């Protein structure tokens, strides 16, 4: 049988086994296995259609049957295939044999009423079946490289392969821990404590996955497939570990994710062993002359911009009427905020590659320079954004999660794809994206939006135009060459300098409004007025002189102004 149909059968077997494992996790979490005491046919589901738990157990059995049939078909095709990878052929033959043992074990569990702890061993056998299928499929899709380099590159690849295998083992243990926690659901309290061994499994798997990602960045810099696979592995492992913190009834959702991550780690180990190594040590010698792939991906998140956004988020958390937040909440809000802003920044870089290519300050970014493909930057940004939603939803509040997600869509899609390219109002309207972080911090603590939080939003909203238009005045030739309708390009320098002064005056007035509504005291008011007077002085000089020194002075001070203003809020709340 030709190899392409064999790969299709192997892929179908992997998908079917994943569905069987995922449905098994739901059966364990809901305790629905007890609703089907007959085997192999669940007569209760057929006789009493109103029993949803019985139908869930019956559906799992159908998924297992489908996986077994596809496994047998894959084994038969592997035995007949000529020229297929030998190891892959025997793994495909072993998969249904192990699957048969797993099915017999399931039958024994039903007849002896062995639920709960027995689910873990049942899942372990299913993971072995999946492992055989994933390794076989990967081996079929990636033949061994004909030529392989030695020396440092070979040693680095061996470390990567070893880390991937260890990660797969740790993820397998973590998946079994999730299964054990899900098995507690029918009898445990909603907030059942997390066992120390399960927490240790989560920390170990996440650490190994992170190490695998770093090693992939270091050793296989030019292999985009391995880099993306290792990054996704680290992200999904962290998400899987986070599911341990959910109640036992929800932990069953992580069993299917764990099986997926387990298969991904195994596939990565096989790919690391089979894909070609760097062709020459000379490539390694010249690599330090260019930014590392790690720094390139980090730069996609725009860390300098994020640092100011996180300052406003953090400050907002400490000035609410709810009191001092827990350090745990602060930590996860910062992590979720960085992931959200970083994901939006990476998507922005992917979309703006054509614009960045024509601008001096951005032409050396990873996407326009060709060091990172636009598709990979987009995948990276979407992955960070998805992970931010998980982190915010698990550790903060639904409203904070909603606002954080809105910020991603606002900046990455509404501003980047439409406003920036279509109107000089791009910075005015688009400033709302940068003004969302304090709302996220506020709602992460309180769960609701108040008038003071709206004022914080308005302060950053009116701060954005003078801050960014100052930069646009300096870089207006770049924007004109790139075709971006910034205000200096559309209306000219005099109008831009006047608009900077107008928005600066509104900004200073808004900053004093926090004291007027009773949200801040006199200490903040004194600081806000002092900082505001200096801001107005810079804006006045830009309007009257318009020279490079005054423009750069306003741009640099505006960054310090916002940080000091929010620091004054925290100090006022702490002292008064």
**What confidence tens digit (pLDDT) does each residue in 300-332 have?**
998 888 988 999 999 999 999 888 888 889 999
Is residue 211 assigned to a domain?
yes
Q: Kindly state whether residues 344 and 434 are assigned to the same domain.
A: yes
Q: Kindly state whether residues 264 and 317 are assigned to the same domain.
A: no
Is residue 288 assigned to a domain?
no
Cα–Cα distance for residue pair 428/512, rounded to 1 Å: 21
Q: Kindly state whether residues 253 and 314 are assigned to the same domain.
A: no
Is residue 381 assigned to a domain?
yes
Q: Kindly state whether residues 110 and 180 are assigned to the same domain.
A: no
Q: Kindly state whether residues 158 and 129 are assigned to the same domain.
A: no
Is residue 292 assigned to a domain?
no
Quickly count: other Cβ atoms within 10 Å of residue 137's Cβ: 27
Q: Look-up: residue for tokens 């390139």?
A: 296
> Which of these three, 245, 279, 313, is where a domain ends?
279
pLDDT at 190: 45
Is residue 293 assigned to a domain?
no
CA distances from 440 to 32, 327, 399 (A): 39, 16, 8
Q: Kindly state whether residues 441 and 458 are assigned to the same domain.
A: no
- Closest-CA residue to 541 (of 531, 553, 533): 553
> CA neighbours within 13 Å on the CB side: how many for 538?
26
Is residue 289 assigned to a domain?
no
> Which of these three, 427, 449, 471, is where a domain ends?
449
Q: Kindly state whether residues 463 and 540 are assigned to the same domain.
A: yes
Q: Kindly state whether residues 207 and 267 are assigned to the same domain.
A: yes
Question: For residues 280 and 149, is the Cβ–Cβ distance under 8 A?
Answer: yes
Q: What is the 3-state secondary structure (H, E, C) of 129-181?
A: HHHHHHHHHHHHHCCCCCCCCCCHHHHHHHHHHHHHHHHHHHHHHHHHHHHHH
CA distances from 137 to 4, 22, 87 (A): 11, 20, 10
Domain at 550, CATH number: 1.20.120
Is residue 294 assigned to a domain?
no
Question: For residues 20 and 60, is the Cβ–Cβ distance under 8 A?
Answer: yes
Q: Kindly state whether residues 497 and 372 are assigned to the same domain.
A: no
pLDDT at 403: 95
Domain count, the chain: 4
pTM of the predicted protein model:
0.56
DSSP 280: -
Cis peptide before 44 (omega within 30 of 0): no
Q: What is the pLDDT along the chain (576 residues), one digit of tens a residue?
A: 344 678 888 888 888 888 888 777 777 666 665 566 666 666 554 555 545 556 666 777 788 888 888 888 888 888 887 777 778 878 888 888 887 876 776 666 555 555 544 566 777 778 888 888 888 888 888 777 654 445 566 677 777 878 888 888 888 887 777 777 666 555 444 445 555 556 667 777 888 888 888 888 877 767 778 888 888 888 888 887 777 766 665 656 667 777 888 888 888 888 877 777 655 444 344 444 456 778 888 889 988 889 889 999 999 999 998 888 888 899 999 999 999 999 999 999 998 888 888 777 788 888 888 888 999 999 999 999 999 999 999 999 999 999 999 999 999 888 888 888 888 888 888 888 999 999 999 999 999 999 999 999 999 999 999 999 998 898 888 888 888 888 898 888 999 999 999 999 999 999 999 999 999 999 999 999 999 999 999 999 999 998 888 999 999 899 999 999 999 999 888 776
Distant-in-sequence, close-in-space partners of 526: CB < 8 Å, separation ≥ 6: none
Q: Kindly state whether residues 328 and 378 are assigned to the same domain.
A: yes
Question: For residues 459 and 507, is the Cβ–Cβ distance under 8 A?
Answer: yes
Q: Kindly state whether residues 395 and 435 are assigned to the same domain.
A: yes
Exposure letters 245-260 (e unless 16+ CB within 10 A, then b)? ebbbbbbbbbbbbbbb
Is residue 182 assigned to a domain?
yes
Cα–Cα distance for residue pair 234/212, rounded to 1 Å: 8
Domain encompassing residue 544? 454-576
Cα–Cα distance for residue pair 154/169, rounded to 1 Å: 23
**Residues found in the chain:** 576
Q: Kindly state whether residues 11 and 88 are assigned to the same domain.
A: yes
- Closest-CA residue to 315 (of 82, 515, 572): 572
Cα–Cα distance for residue pair 119/28, rounded to 1 Å: 7
Q: What is the pLDDT of residues 484-530, one digit of tens each?
A: 888 898 888 999 999 999 999 999 999 999 999 999 999 999 999 99
User: Which phi and psi (to 5°) does residue 246 adopt?
Assistant: -75, 165
pLDDT at 35: 62
- Closest-CA residue to 292 (of 374, 385, 214, 357): 214
Quickly count: other Cβ atoms within 10 Å of residue 285's Cβ: 9
> Which of these three, 449, 465, 495, is where a domain ends?
449
């Amino acid at each position: 049988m030709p190899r392409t149909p064999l790969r299709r059968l192997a892929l179908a077997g992997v998908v079917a086994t994943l569905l069987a494992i995922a449905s098994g996790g739901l059966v364990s979490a809901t305790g629905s296995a007890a609703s089907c005491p007959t085997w192999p046919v669940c007569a209760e589901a057929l006789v009493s259609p109103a029993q949803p738990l019985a139908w869930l157990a019956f559906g799992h059995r159908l998924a297992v049957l489908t996986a077994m049939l596809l496994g047998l078909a894959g084994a038969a095709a592997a035995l007949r295939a000529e020229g297929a990878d030998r190891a892959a052929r025997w793994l495909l033959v072993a998969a249904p044999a192990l699957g048969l043992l797993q099915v017999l074990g399931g039958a024994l569990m039903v007849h002896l009423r062995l639920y709960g702890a027995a689910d873990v061993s049942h899942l372990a056998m299913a993971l072995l079946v999946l492992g055989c299928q994933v390794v076989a499929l990967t081996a079929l899709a990636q033949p061994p490289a004909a030529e392989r380099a030695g020396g440092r590159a070979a040693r680095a690849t061996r470390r990567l392969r070893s880390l991937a295998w260890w990660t797969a083992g740790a993820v397998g243990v973590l998946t079994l821990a999730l299964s054990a926690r899900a098995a507690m659901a029918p009898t445990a309290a909603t907030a059942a404590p997390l066992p120390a061994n399960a927490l240790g499994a989560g920390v170990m798997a996440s650490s190994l996955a992170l190490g695998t990602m770093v090693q992939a960045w270091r050793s296989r810099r030019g292999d985009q497939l391995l880099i993306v696979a290792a990054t996704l592995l680290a992200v999904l492992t962290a998400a899987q570990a986070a599911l341990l913190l959910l109640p036992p009834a929800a932990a069953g959702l992580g069993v299917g994710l764990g099986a997926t991550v387990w298969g991904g780690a195994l596939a990565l180990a096989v790919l690391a062993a089979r894909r070609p190594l760097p062709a020459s040590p000379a490539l390694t010698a010249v690599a330090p002359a260019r930014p590392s792939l790690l720094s390139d991906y980090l730069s996609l998140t725009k860390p300098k911009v994020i640092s100011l956004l996180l300052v406003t988020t953090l400050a907002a958390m400490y000035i609410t009427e709810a009191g001092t937040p827990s350090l745990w909440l602060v930590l996860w809000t910062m992590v979720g905020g960085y992931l959200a802003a970083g994901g939006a920044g990476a998507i922005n870089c992917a979309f703006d590659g054509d614009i960045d290519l024509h601008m001096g300050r951005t032409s050396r970014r990873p996407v326009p320079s060709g060091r990172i493909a636009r598709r990979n930057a987009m995948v990276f940004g979407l992955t960070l954004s998805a992970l931010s939603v998980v982190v915010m939803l698990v550790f903060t509040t639904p409203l904070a999660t909603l606002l954080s997600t809105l910020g991603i869509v606002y900046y990455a899609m509404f501003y980047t794809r439409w406003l920036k390219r279509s109107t000089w109002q791009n910075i005015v309207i688009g400033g709302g994206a940068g003004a969302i972080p304090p709302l996220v911090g506020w709602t992460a603590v309180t769960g609701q939006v108040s008038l003071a939080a709206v004022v914080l939003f308005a302060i950053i909203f009116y701060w954005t135009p003078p801050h960014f238009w100052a930069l646009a005045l300096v870089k207006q030739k770049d924007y004109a060459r790139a075709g971006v309708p910034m205000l200096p390009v559309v209306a000219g320098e005099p109008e831009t300098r006047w608009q900077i002064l107008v928005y600066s005056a509104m900004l200073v007035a808004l900053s004093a409004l926090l004291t007027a509504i009773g949200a801040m005291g006199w200490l903040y008011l004194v600081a806000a007025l002092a900082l505001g007077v200096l801001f107005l002085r810079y804006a006045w000089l830009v309007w009257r002189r318009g020279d490079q020194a005054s423009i750069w002075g306003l741009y640099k001070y505006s960054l310090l102004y916002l940080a000091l203003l929010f620091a004054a809020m925290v100090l006022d709340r702490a002292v008064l």
